[in-house]
Amino acid sequence: MRVSGIAPTRDSPRRLALGKIPISILNATVLRMVGANSDRVVTPASAGVDFAAIRIGLGYIVVSSDPVTGVSDEIGRYAVTVSANDVATCGHPAQFAESVILLPEGSRPNDVARVARQVHQAAKDAGIAIVGGHTEVTPGLRRPIVMVTAFGFVEDYVSSRDAASGDTIMMTKTAGLEGTAVLTGSRRLLDDLSVIPEATLAYGTGRVHAMHDCTEGGVLGAVFEMALAAGLGFELNSASVPVADATKDVCRRKGIDPLKLISSGALLLSVEAGKEEEVAKAVSPVRITTIGRFTSSGRFLIGRSGRKNVVRSAPEDELWRALGRSSGGRDRL
């Protein structure tokens, strides 16, 4: 079968890069193939949207799935956190989850117990009940893969599609948090990867129109995705994006851009103009910074000199490039 706009893969010389599938290919393939239609789906699968919302009675089920593929240490904890973060961008924490744990050949019972314990503890800390899933030893794997589907029941919510022109773009914490944790092996940074507290507190102000988790592609990728989902433009001030010293150091050593480095733990918020201080007070003591604004058209990264650079697509994440340059390659994780 051929999908309009995409050449047959057998004849294509292009190989996909590691990481997320480019949005153009995603839109022409996966997002066109969504099974049966249902009028209960009110927020469907879409690039830049962290979750789906399904109408149930007077409320909604909000659900999101995410795999963790690039780490081995604390992989169960990562998996719960990133999926729970996606749900939290609706304004409410997840309540339930299922986990799929795939282990490489040669794994031992202790390996199963280790990952399951990580999933259990992370879910317990987040107030999430694990209600099922699947666990197996899978041929061909070089390291574990864990996928978590988190979901919850809500009466109201926001999504990245709800950002509005003129809104202020704010972000919590600092750029490249998850990438820094992976590249430095810092377990301390794992404590900063959840956005559940600030997402729920910010939503409670009634001043936040939309939220988005900064994952692959970093802060720049997340802003682009959020604008794409809402049909907006943006002006992102690169000098305003906070970057921790540890992130600056690892990015300098590896020759990568912190604004394009996977940033789970940093939350993007589309905030009603003039209400930034109210939102900042609500999420305190979590650090929050104004980094730009959404516009009706044009997508620009403003450099430190003030020059506007057009952003035409979401960037590939710098983590894969950095790992490829590391001694021992990706297997060292």
3-state secondary structure 100-125: EEEEECCCCHHHHHHHHHHHHHHHHH
SS3 category, 54: strand
Look at residue 13 in the predicted model and tell me its pLDDT: 58
End-to-end CA distance of the chain: 38
How many Cβ atoms sit within 10 Å of the Cβ of residue 127?
12
Cβ 244 vs Cβ 171: under 8 Å? no
Give the dihedral sign, CA 255/289/184/212: negative
Cβ 189 vs Cβ 198: under 8 Å? no
Mean pLDDT for back-to-back runs of 10 residues, the chain (333 residues): 38 73 90 93 92 96 91 88 97 98 96 97 97 97 95 97 98 95 82 94 98 95 96 97 96 96 96 98 98 97 92 91 56 28
Rounded to an integer, what distance in angstroms lies between the CA atom of residue 216 and that of residue 324? 16
Look at residue 73 in the predicted model and tell me its pLDDT: 83
Cβ 123 vs Cβ 115: under 8 Å? no
Rounded to an integer, what distance in angstroms lies between the CA atom of residue 261 and that of residue 256? 8
Rounded to an integer, what distance in angstroms lies between the CA atom of residue 333 and that of residue 330? 6
Cβ 193 vs Cβ 78: under 8 Å? yes
| Cis previous bond, 258, omega within 30 | no
Cβ 51 vs Cβ 62: under 8 Å? yes
The first and second tokens of residue 296, run together, are: 């009706």
Give the dihedral sign, CA 80/86/92/97: negative
Rounded to an integer, what distance in angstroms lies between the CA atom of residue 152 and that of residue 62? 5
Look at residue 2 in the predicted model and tell me its pLDDT: 31
CATH superfamily of 36-154: PurM-like, N-terminal domain (3.30.1330.10)
The CA dihedral of 220, 223, 229, 234, to the nearest 10 degrees, is -110
Beta strands in 31-172 (DSSP E): 41-43, 52-56, 59-68, 96-104, 129-138, 145-154, 168-172
How many Cβ atoms sit within 10 Å of the Cβ of residue 286?
16
Residues of the chain with CATH 3.30.1330.10: 36-154
Domain 160-326 top-level CATH class? alpha beta
Look at residue 6 in the predicted model and tell me its pLDDT: 39
DSSP 8-state class, residue 34 = -
Rounded to an integer, what distance in angstroms lies between the CA atom of residue 167 and that of residue 99? 36
Residues of the chain with CATH 3.90.650.10: 160-326
How many Cβ atoms sit within 10 Å of the Cβ of residue 250?
21
